[in-house]
Amino acid sequence: MSSRSTPSITALYPEYTTTTPLDTLRSTAYSYLNAQSHTYLDYTGSGLCSSVQLAAHEARLASTLYGNPHSVNPTSEAATIAVEQTRKRILQHFNADPAEYAVVFTPNATGAA
């Protein structure tokens, strides 16, 4: 057995250091993947939520009761407001004129077809 240590992957392939920001993101916002020993590659089939997104969503659900946005009651009004605010923010993000563009939410790729 040799006493020499094996060079690190970045010593052998220095271009791998360009992924450092992604490695940091995975170890922080997606640390549950490492904790559960997962390598997840199907990002086109299902997006993974980050721990920050999960915490924000949990806080939102803990502070507000949402109902069916197609009904008329206080919980439905809360859902309708949230949906409309989200549509507005998406259009603003893309600098899209709401008179020309609409945001439509679908449950999944099949529902969008």
pLDDT tens profile 5-16: 889 888 999 998
- Give the Cα separation of 90 and 8 in Å (integer): 43
Rounded distance, CA 98 to CA 88, Å?
A: 8
What pLDDT does residue 44 have?
Answer: 67
pLDDT per residue as tens digits for the range 24-74 = 998 999 999 989 998 887 766 677 889 999 999 999 999 999 999 888 999
- The least confident of 19-23, 28-32, 105-109 is 105-109
